[in-house]
Amino acid sequence: MKIIDKQFLKTPCYGSRQMARYMKRNNYQCGRHRVRRLMRLMRLVPIYQEPNTSKKHPQHKIWPYLLRNAIIDHPNQVWCADITYIPMRRDFLYLVAIMDWHSRKVLAWRLSNSMDADFCVKALK
């Protein structure tokens, strides 16, 4: 616990996985689950930047769900889009994918390092 606490003061972004790797690199015999248990016991929580993707704008209109009773039986009838983030070492990459509901194929995708609408529009075009 002393070793974990000392290293956590140097690198507060280390979670249980990275701390377990650090312990193994320095020839200490302990696994990730033990490190996780000890970090919980010491109430150590890693500090990391979380994405800011789920805040809705108060002036945006909420649209009704138009596909509730629709029968989708051929390609290019309904497309869907989804955006997600990929955590990197210090930041995030954002991935948008356009898919066809019937065939479940990815029609287009784009990556961006910022949460702009431009890369989403480029994927849609």
Domain ranges for the chain, please list them.
Answer: 2-41, 79-124
Q: State yes or no: pLDDT of 90 exceeds 90.
A: no
Q: State yes or no: pLDDT of 89 exceeds 90.
A: no
pTM of the model: 0.51
pLDDT at position 108, please? 95
pLDDT at position 19, please? 95
pLDDT at position 47, please? 85
- Mean pLDDT over each residue of the chain, to the nearest integer: 91
Q: What are 78-84's contacts with CB under 8 Å, separation 24+?
A: 78/102, 79/107, 81/120, 81/123, 81/124, 83/53, 83/120
9: Cα within 13 Å, side-chain hemisphere:
5
Residue 125 near residue 107 (C-beta atoms within 8 A)? no
The CA distance from 93 to 113, in Å, is 5
Per-residue pLDDT, averaged over 54-78, amounts to 90
- In Å, how far are 5, 21, 23, 30, 34 from 27, measured between CA atoms? 17, 10, 6, 9, 15
The CA distance from 34 to 21, in Å, is 12
pLDDT at position 53, please? 73
Per-residue pLDDT band at 25 (split at 50, 70, 90)? very high
Per-residue pLDDT, averaged over 9-37, amounts to 93
pLDDT at position 20, please? 95
